[in-house]
Structure 1
Amino acid sequence: MQVRGAVIWESPGPLEVVDMELDDPRPDELQVKMVASGMCHSDDHHVTGDSPLTGCPFALGHEGAGIVTKVGPNSKGIEEGDHVVFSAIPSCGHCRWCASGMSNLCDLAAGILAGPRWTDGTYRLHLPDGRPVGQLCGISTFVDTTTASLDSVIKVDKDIPLDKACLVGCAVSTGWGAAVNSADVQPGDTVIVMGVGGIGASAVQGARFGGAENIIAVDPVAFKREKAATFGATHAVATMEEATELARRFTNGQGADSAIVTVGILKSEYVAQAFSAIRKAGTVVVTAIGQHDAVGVPISLHDLTLSQKRLQGSLFGATNGNWDIKRLLNLYRAGSLNLDDMVTRTYTLDDVAQGYKDLHDGTNIRGVITYQ
């Protein structure tokens, strides 16, 4: 069938909306008519070349939700008409990582930036002239209808609005999990969240869920500082210097229990600032990404050892998509997770470039493409 989607022809390179041909689902696959897709900064990293893709053209988008229109053989209980949320990280359920409760590190993720389906090396998207188009994360949610593996989707209840549920497929799981799982926020903690975009706003909510007494949001953009209180921040400041001073004031000079780095473009000095802001035996959690070849963090090795500090990477918030996506949506339904205020603006697919301009301008917590 003919579909439309946003692709890049090279990385770095701009997004362009084009017509494509989509194959029907094969065994263990399904076809989904998209309802909404969040506009994550990770996609923009491919556009700018911070995280380059090989094998272009590539159809981008990895945070979305929609309605099943076709299923292939062995559909594992998913039927046409079901509502699904895509998980940015697929889960096979039986590799070492899935079997040990770390499905965010599933071995299938090794193929999510390759382009073809990881099972057999074939493609589901093609240009009208027959050239294959890679699918980001095997899903490409910037396409109005997409074919994906069952390992990448979670069936959700039909009463949950999909234009909000789409956020749980990446930003919310990543930020909330960074606080709850990776930082292990405890009641009474003092937490710094560095960067208040979609992931940062979710980290603030995760810290609140964990019972933190002081949640200090840091962002140079005034609009984002103002919005931070909506998600549970107790304080919002423009710089890490201000955040560090506040954290020490709240803890008798010790420093924050944890600092979560959720900036749009990671730089080594940001990690160092977070490291300096935490107490002895505190934790820095890094979810942000920057240039793929950047190395080195200017931290004191003396402080690392003698203060017993912990520097923790966090992929997908160390969450289990098959369980945590449903759990987070249940929290949303119960009023304990705020997804509504995360969506600052909605866009059509043709406005995808404007959506990313707004992201760079700092005017969105999360922009969402809506298809219906």
Structure 2
Amino acid sequence: MRAAVLYAPVPAGTSYTTARPLVIEELDRPKPRAGELGVEITYSSLCHSDLSVVDGSRVRPLPMALGHEAVGRVAAVGPGVMDVSVGDHVVLVFVPSCGKCRACRAGRPALCHRAAEVNGTGDLLHGEALLRSRTGERINHHLGVSAFADYAVVARESAVVIDDDVPDTTAAMFGCAVLTGMGTVLNTAALTPGQSVAVFGLGAVGLSAVMAAAIGGAAAVIAVDPNEAKHQLARDCGATAVGTPDDAPRLIADLTGDGVDIAVEAVGSAGVIASCLDFLTRGGAVVSVGLPNPSAELTVPALQFAGAGKRLLGSYMGDAVPERDLPLYLGWWREGRLPVELLHTDTRPLAEINEGLDALAAGHVVRRLFRA
């Protein structure tokens, strides 16, 4: 099998095209164990979470085969897996919930304790890492998926079977961007029709949040990003007003009077989280779904919470229940209400993965897909 492996982080601001931190390597092709699947990857998708591992802001055990958002076909079924067959069409998700821990029992599988543990160590839900270099060196799995490859062994719990009518170039974006952005608004913030929503940061997750707000019946959907090249795309996704951060105070005042009900922070910036609190109406909620640098700290006036009833919520994978949410979202896609194809910037061969890192860091792409 072929996979893109990271051996050492490369600081942000470096030319990844020149430094080539991701190395396409031939690895031994593992067989699935009990509770696991072997999946032939057709398309994978590059996300800022991948970039944050490459630049070292998200520390992961190295070497690691990166990538966590993909679609493919089941090629092998491990012992004990009875509900999936060879040839099934699957979307891969990056939290393989155990079903037994406190979070899973509470109906919040995105916060699975066991998944957080094995994702942090580079292992799989049902056992230690399987990937090995041709010299026998352990290669860690990225979030239980390692999608920048032509093949992956994943836990059964990392795969959601979908119908064959969904094009792979569309399905590839559902496992992270769509689940996370949609769930941030519909699950974590629990949008009700008529509320107002502002989304800060128009990457694939932020644009998915814009789509969720439009589908959920928001009275105003305000999309904010300094990159004006993304503004028309936000309108196409359902935003009723679009602007730069400098425009945000005026837009929010004009459309809501006293602030939005929900502000989604999809930038990964402590400063943006703080400004989002200022843009809320009384009783409103900021939902932080971006990934700030681990060293970033947040300082805000404490009286905003008890004094104005404001809330600050965290959202991991959009508080998704993948087996429940993916079929729902795919239904909206079939009805033409969820134009996920708008997120797809282009498709390149896996050999160009390092060039893709540069394009993503520069804001030139929303979702670039890679052919295995």
Matches for 1:79-118 after TM superposition, within 5 Å: 79-110=85-116, 111-118=118-125
Alignment TM-score, normalising by the size of structure 2: 0.94
Shift of 1:298: 2.3
Residue deviations 1:332-355, cap 9 Å, x none?
122111111110111110011111
Match of 2:16 in 1: none
Cα offset, 1:293, TM superposition: 2.7
Q: 2:182 — aligned with what?
A: 176
Which position in structure 1 is the counterpart of 2:371? 370
**Structure 2 residue corresponding to 1:282, chosen from 272, 276, 284:** 284
1:164 is matched with which residue? Answer: 170
| CA drift at 1:176 | 0.7
Q: Does residue 205 of structure 1 match 2:207?
A: no
1:71 to 68, 74, 77: 77
Q: Aligned equivalents of 1:67 and 1:322: distance in 2?
A: 17
User: Is the contact made by 2:70 and 2:92 (CA closer than 8 Å) also made in structure 1?
Assistant: yes
The answer as to whether partners of 2:225 and 2:244 remain within 8 angstroms in 1 is yes
**1:257 aligned to 2:261?**
yes
SS at match of 2:285: strand
TM-superposition CA deviations, 1:29-67 (whole Å, max 9, x none): 11100011111110110001110112x110000111100
Q: TM-score, normalised by structure 1?
A: 0.94
Percent identity between matched residues is: 33
Q: 2:18 matched to which residue of 1? A: none
> SS of the residue aligned with 1:186?
coil
Q: Is the 8 A contact 1:83 1:157 kept in 2?
A: yes
- Kindly provide the amino acid, as one letter, of the partner of residue 333 in structure 1: R
In structure 1, distance between residues paired with 2:127 and 2:234: 44
Instruction: Confirm or deny: 8 A CA contact 1:256 1:282 kept in the other structure.
Output: yes
Give yes or no for contact 2:182–2:318 (8 Å, CA) kept in 1: yes
What code does the residue aligned with 2:46 have?
M
Q: Any unmatched runs of 5+ in structure 2? A: 12-20
Q: d(CA) in 2 for partners of 1:115 and 1:67? A: 23
Preserved CA contact (<8 Å) 1:20 1:128: yes
Task: Give the CA deviation at 1:12.
Answer: 4.4
In 2, Cα distance between equivalents of 1:317 and 1:261: 12
Q: Is the contact between residue 12 and residue 52 of structure 1 (CA under 8 Å) also seen in structure 2?
A: no
> Cα distance, 1:127 vs. partner?
0.5
Gaps of 5+ in 1: none
Three-state SS of the structure 2 residue aligned to 1:124 is: coil
Tell me which residue corresponds to 2:33: 26
Between the aligned partners of 1:115 and 1:82, the Cα distance in structure 2 is: 26
1:245 maps to 250
Q: Deviations over 1:297-343 (max 9, x none)?
A: 12111222211100000000111012112221121122111111110
Separation (CA, whole Å) in 2 of partners of 1:108 and 1:158: 31
Tell me the distance in 1 between the aligned counterparts of 2:87 and 2:281.
Answer: 51
Can you list the C-alpha shifts for 1:252-275, whole angstroms capped at 9, x where unaligned? 3x1111110111xx2221111111
Q: Secondary structure at the match of 1:137?
A: coil
- Provide the alpha-carbon RMSD of the alignment: 1.3
For 1:37, the equivalent position in structure 2 comes to: 44
Would the aligned equivalents of 1:201 and 1:365 in 2 still touch at CA under 8 Å?
no
Three-state SS of the structure 1 residue aligned to 2:28 is: strand
The secondary structure found in structure 2 opposite 1:305 is helix
Q: How many residues align?
A: 362
